[in-house]
Amino acid sequence: MVHLYFGEGKGKTSAAIGLAVRAAGAGLNVAIIFFDKGEPGESESDQLYSERAVLRSISGIDIFSVGLPRFSPGHPFRHGMTDEDIKEAQQGYELSARIIGGKTYSVVILDEVLGLVRLGALREEQVSSLMELSRQQPETELILTGHVLSPSLIQEADLVTEMRKVKHYFDSGKPARKGIEY
């Protein structure tokens, strides 16, 4: 099955990670590809995205990170796309295709991949092709997350959950907090 978790609300990555933990607990192998949440080194990445330190300790979960850093505590989020961002996104697409086609993982999570379509770093057809490749591997569950979603990708998916922001403390100027947002 193909799952899409999207929207402007908080919880898309958290939902995907919850599914990863459940799958690993059931003895399934899980690959998580973090798009657009890259870091220069593993230890720095674990400091910036706290969940990665725990995920690395869970047998059956493998983590892959592509993309350039967009967030640093105490600094504004970096918006926009550079040529290097686009190159990283394309490398992530190729990695995703190899992982899905490799039949090693029962669950493959492509975190933040949907936002890269909106930003122009990936084409919708590329994401659609990953969904189709997953369908050719009946033993593989594919989960995609991101902010914005097209009607055609919604149509192609088997499960679609929208995270809708009703209220968020960011809007009143509260910064991201370690252990809660990262």
What CATH class has 2-172?
alpha beta
Cα 43 to Cα 21, 48, 76: the distances in Å are: 21, 9, 22
Residues 6+ apart with CB under 8 A from 68: 36, 38, 82, 84, 85, 88
Q: What digits encode the pLDDT tens for the residues 165-175?
A: 888 887 888 87
Are 154 and 160 in contact by the 8 Å Cβ rule? The answer is yes
Q: What is the pLDDT of residues 125-152, one digit of tens each?
A: 999 999 999 999 989 999 999 987 889 9
Side chain identity at 161, as an amino acid letter? Answer: T
Using pLDDT thresholds of 50, 70 and 90, give the confidence band for residue 106. very high
Q: What is the pLDDT of residue 31?
A: 98
